Amino acid sequence: MTKTSPFATCWRILPQVSRSFAVVIRWLPKGLDDAVMVSYLLCRIADTLEDSVRDVAEKRRQLARFGDSLDEGSPEIPLDAFPATYLGLMTNTDAVLASYRALPASARTIIRARVQEMCGGMSKWCDKEIVTVQDQNEYCYYVAGLVGLMLTDLFHAYGHVSDRDKAQLTPLAVDFGLALQKVNILKDQSEDEASGRFLVPDRHELLASLRRDGEGALAYLQALPSEERGYRIFCAWSLMMGAVTISLLDHVHVKQSRRDDTAQLLARTAAIAEDNAALGALFAELMPRLPEHVPGAPLAKPESVETFRAMLAAPLTDAELRRLGIGAARA
């Protein structure tokens, strides 16, 4: 597919940002593909600002300035804050903004609202700790649930879904975004925690919540109009790849490159895109059995060191307590 100005630069850099997304987006109808491509790159710029800018005040300033510059001006992002892997995208921020400004007004209205909400949510969570699954759901809403809503809004704006279908799809769109984001969080957990980003308060509970979100994501896919084969393939492939990723989480010896398997999965998914029963069966085949969520009693507040020492009924020294990770007794 040959792309011409004003979107040519964005289509050129898209494979550098995500090869898999660059492949599957080509199933989308003409016009909608430009809007989804631009919205994806804008979200990746915001995500890069969140990940790479370490100073909290500067991060908030950068996110706010980026959101405010969508329709005019330039965010003037300082490129020395980013690792080399992100520079291809970040050095082309102005080109992405130019492409956004070339979209129809209806698409810009949708994208502007969601990207600005995303930037605000990222700012809110940049100095808050994710302690509960509820915290995690809110964080995932801002970084991915919004993307599901934005895709659905664009799908509707470009005339590919009715008002009635959109009303059914909208609540499920959040589940679709949350499911894919939680897959990424689990996949990247070790790397994130090595860099000081703790996004998994309880792995068991996260997997249990992913089970529910995955069911909602499948329902979203199956609720799409059957005649919209391209958009169904676009969504189905992302969901099926997420299921495969979860199934491989603990397979430490699996090779990183699985191009043949990926190509086969895309072909298999495309072949059944209009068949809800077959999509459900494929998802059930690929997604491992996840734990069910069983609400537990609220956790008690941490006890004092003195209480812990008495509970052990042993004369532990402060040094021994520190080795246990409890800390020194208060004076």
pLDDT digits (tens, 9 = 90+) for 167-179: 999 999 999 999 9
Domain range holding 308? Answer: 300-331
Ranking 30-34, 131-135, 322-326 by mean pLDDT, the lowest is 322-326
In a domain, 274, yes or no: yes
Tell me, what's the pLDDT at 54?
A: 86
Q: Does 217 lie in the same domain as 153?
A: yes
In a domain, 2, yes or no: no
Q: Does 318 lie in the same domain as 277?
A: no
Residue-wise pLDDT for 157-209, tens only, equals 999 999 999 999 999 999 999 999 999 999 999 988 988 888 999 999 999 99
Judge whether 142 and 125 are in contact, CB under 8 Å. yes
Q: Does 221 lie in the same domain as 244?
A: yes
| Confidence category of residue 4, pLDDT binned at 50, 70, 90 | low
Residue reference for tokens 């550098």: 16
The Cα 157–Cα 288 span in angstroms is: 36
In a domain, 1, yes or no: no
Q: Does 329 lie in the same domain as 220?
A: no
In a domain, 46, yes or no: yes
Q: Does 322 lie in the same domain as 266?
A: no
Ranking 244-253, 259-268, 291-300 by mean pLDDT, the lowest is 291-300
Judge whether 127 and 63 are in contact, CB under 8 Å. no
Q: Which of 317, 247, 326 is nearest to 288 (CA)?
A: 247
Q: Does 257 lie in the same domain as 141?
A: yes
The CA distances from residue 67 to 41, 120, 138, 140, 205, in Å, are: 13, 9, 20, 19, 33
Q: Does 190 lie in the same domain as 148?
A: yes
In sequence order, which residues have a C-beta less than 8 Å from that of residue 173 and are 6 or more positions away? 145, 148, 149, 151, 152, 220
Q: Does 308 lie in the same domain as 292?
A: no
Mean pLDDT across the chain: 87
Judge whether 130 and 139 are in contact, CB under 8 Å. yes
Q: Does 187 lie in the same domain as 201?
A: yes
In a domain, 71, yes or no: yes
